[in-house]
Amino acid sequence: MTQPAHKKSTGWVQTKPTALLVLADGTVIEGKGAGAQGSAVAELCFNTALTGYQEILTDPSYSGQIVVFTFPHIGNTGANGEDTEILNPAQRHGAVGAVFKADLSPPSSYRATEGLDQWLEKRGIIGLSGVDTRALTGFIREKGAPNAVIAHNAAGTFDIEDLRRKARQWPGLVGLDLAWEAGCGQSAAWRETPWQWNHGYGEERQGRYHIVAVDYGIKRNILRLLAGLGAKVTLMPGTGTAADILALKPDGIFLSNGPGDPAAMRAYAVPMIQALLQSGIPLFGICLGHQLLALAGGGQTLKMRQGHHGANHPVKDKNTGKVEIVSMNHGFAVDAASLPAEFEETHISLFDGSNCGIRLKGRPVFSVQHHPEASPGPQDSHYLFRRFLDLIKAHKTQSGKSAPIAAQ
């Protein structure tokens, strides 16, 4: 799958590439470099979203991955300081590389403060353009997500055999715990609320309810929507204990998204979640938090062939029959067949039937695999945050009763 020579008026000549994508099977794809120089080894995946490339590249769940954008024109909205999803902008968690079909478009948005090329360089993300991304996406669909090295050198100097060796020897994401370093290192308060046209982000200072968000690599917009419920939000590290969380006397507990293999986190995440479940406090999980909830309840997770990455995924709510168009970003999934009888499957992907939601019967506990906060155009899944708030309200009202409250 090497790239063709470029045709010029004087005939066929080979333009020296300034960036390479080297797959574990030895395939070398040539192109033009963008962003940071250097090399990085990761899993290669594709994303079908038409918009939101800045949010995608700074989503901590993409740690250990290179993103192939199927939309051909990337960069037209530039970059700014508001659309970064990573909690601490100084951190480099998120995608390590990005692959584009066309050269990066110049910015054309009143919100842009810099071009994507400059932004990629500052973020330490390696870019590669001039690639037949449709063919590369087809390759991933057929073969599964491969390990790969992306490299950028302005002089076009590469040790291809060394890059092949690195891609071949990288162990991959299975068994890899990336969440422990993607999350916050200590407890912190969050007040920022969702963005509004011509107003920007707001601030919640009162907080009628207290939600503790367990951070495995949380996205900013999740925290904004939690604060937008009228809640005081406290971040806690994913490596913390249930005792640490319960000492804060939360009205609700949230389990965040994050990168890596959920099964690799069993030793510390599962016992903590199991203890939280015993408390009876309403609990809501998204993405990695969804997978960890399933593990804590006795279920299993599995590695997907190519994963789900995009903003146009149809998911069906099995309770209502409603079909939602959602954003997704996950390479692991809950094995629905492994779930014990105490769990009910609530959502499924209409692409492949994989599990996208569960709830614990008779308890105020539920989770989803997709990203209801991402707002890829529709806001079909925002009701999940309101459902969480309703459970919190009901639990506070009946806090003196012994009977648990069932999720709606």
Query: Which helix (H) or strand (E) covers residue 135, if one does?
Result: helix 133-143
CA angle 371, 48, 54 (to 5 degrees): 65
Please determine, for residue 32, whether its predicted confidence score (pLDDT) is greater than 70: yes
Tell me how far apart the alpha carbons of residues 237 and 339 are, in angstroms, rounded to a whole number.
Answer: 27
Measured CA to CA, the distance from residue 371 to residue 351 in angstroms comes to 16
Counting runs of H as helices and runs of E as strands, what totals does the chain give? 10, 21
Q: Does the pLDDT of residue 268 top 70, yes or no?
A: yes
Residue boundaries of the structural domains of the chain: 6-169, 179-397
The per-residue b/e assignment along 325-364, b for 16 or more CB within 10 angstroms, e otherwise, is bbbbbbbbbbebebbeeebbbbbbbeeeebbbbbbbeebb
pLDDT at 12: 39
Which of 93, 204, 373, 395 is an active site residue?
A: 373
Which tens digits make up the pLDDT trace of 80-115?
999 999 988 777 789 999 999 999 999 999 999 999
Say if CB 37 and CB 165 are below 8 A apart: no
* 327 token code pair: 């954003």
Alpha-carbon separation of residue 263 from 171, 291, 333, 346 (angstroms): 16, 9, 11, 22
pLDDT at 75 over 70: yes
The two tokens of residue 88 are 């601490």
In contact, 390 and 250? CB cutoff 8 Å: no
Per-residue pLDDT tens for 191-237? 999 988 888 899 998 899 999 999 999 999 999 999 999 999 999 99
What pLDDT was estimated at residue 377? Answer: 62
The answer, yes or no, to whether residue 253 has pLDDT greater than 50, is yes
Indicate the length of the chain as a whole number. 408
φ/ψ of 217, rounded to 5, equals 130, 50
Question: Does the annotation mark 308 as catalytic?
Answer: no
Q: What confidence category does residue 402 fall into, taking pLDDT thresholds of 50, 70 and 90?
A: very low
Task: Check 93, 309, 371, 395 and give the catalytic one.
Answer: 371
What was the pLDDT predicted at 400?
57
pLDDT tens digit sequence for 156-194: 999 999 999 999 999 999 999 999 999 888 899 999 999
Q: What is the pLDDT of residue 92?
A: 77
Whether residue 128 contacts residue 20, with contact meaning beta carbons closer than 8 Å, is answered with yes
**Is the separation of the CB atoms in 290 and 222 below 8 Å?**
no
Residue type, 61: S
Tell me if residue 184 is catalytic: no
Alpha carbons 226 and 211: distance in angstroms, whole number? 8
Element (H, E) at 39: strand 38-47
Query: 4-18, 128-142, 356-370: which range is least confident on average?
Result: 4-18
**Mean pLDDT, to the nearest integer, of 377-392?**
91
Q: Is 334 helix (H, G, I), strand (E, B) or coil?
A: strand
Residue 5 has pLDDT above 80, yes or no: no
Does residue 4 surpass a pLDDT of 60?
no
- Catalytic residue, chosen from 287, 308, 330, 395, is 287
Classify domain 179-397 at the CATH superfamily level: Class I glutamine amidotransferase (GATase) domain (3.40.50.880)
pLDDT by residue (tens digit) across 115-128?
Answer: 999 999 999 999 99
Residue 14 has pLDDT above 80, yes or no: no
pLDDT score recorded for residue 6: 37
Global model pTM greater than 0.75: yes
**CATH number 3.40.50.2300 is the correct assignment for the domain at 6-169:** no
Of the CA atoms within 13 Å of residue 304, those in its CB half-sphere come to 22
Mean per-residue pLDDT over the chain, rounded: 92
Catalytic residue list contains 373? yes
DSSP letters, 72-131, are: S---TT-B-SSS--SSSTT---S-SEEE-SSPPPPP--TT-SB-HHHHHHHHT-EEEES-
